[in-house]
Amino acid sequence: MNAVRELAAGESHRAWEAMRELRPHVGDAAQFAARIDDVQRPGGYRLLASFEGDAEQASAVAGFRVLETLFAGRMLYVDDLSTVPAARGRGHAGGLLAELDRLATELGCEWLQLDSGVQAERFTAHRLYMNHGMGIVSHHFGKRL
């Protein structure tokens, strides 16, 4: 049985192995934890993690925050959702999405939203999102500066 819980400040390093699968540029565990705790948490970023047994490192993680926008109102936005390869297909991401739904409702959000890359290697993730009841509701455009 997987255990899903929010990681508090000081526990961010427990999300590093799962997060580096999606964000390989995050540095080592200490650099990653410092960025989360010192830079992102003050802006409202939170980490949800799924663990197998008594593992120190999470098998999957979701980084999220609550946003208020004119186009969607109050939403829970998922910045990051990642699972270590060895734990894929074991229900971790689905468990995180279910808890994100619950949190979004508890926080008075009208939407749960995320962006996902369009590369072929993301198609399994897209299938997961659609099976969770999510749909493609917009195109996201960006320009690196």
Place of tokens 């995320």: 114
Could you tell me if residue 68 is inside a domain? Answer: yes
Q: Give domain status of residue 98, yes or no.
A: yes
**pLDDT at residue 64 in the model:** 98
Confidence of residue 120 (pLDDT cuts 50, 70, 90): confident
Residue 92 lies in a domain: yes
For residue 137, being part of any structural domain is answered with no
User: For the chain, how many structural domains are there in total?
Assistant: 1
CB distance 45 to 65 below 8 Å: yes
Are 51 and 2 a contacting pair, CB within 8 Å? yes
Handedness of CA 35, 39, 41, 43 (dihedral sign): negative
Distances (CA, A) of 107 to 34, 103, 110: 26, 6, 9
70 lies in some domain: yes
Instruction: Give the CATH number of the domain where residue 9 resides.
Output: 3.40.630.30
- pLDDT at position 118 is 86
- Residue 117: what pLDDT? 86
* 108 lies in some domain: yes
**What would the pLDDT profile of 7-62 be if each residue is shown by its tens digit?**
999 999 999 999 999 999 999 999 999 999 999 999 999 999 999 999 999 999 99
Over the chain, what is the mean pLDDT? 95
pLDDT for residue 119: 85
Q: Looking at the domain assignment, is residue 75 inside a domain?
A: yes
Instruction: Note down the domain range covering 11.
Output: 2-131
In a domain, 40, yes or no: yes
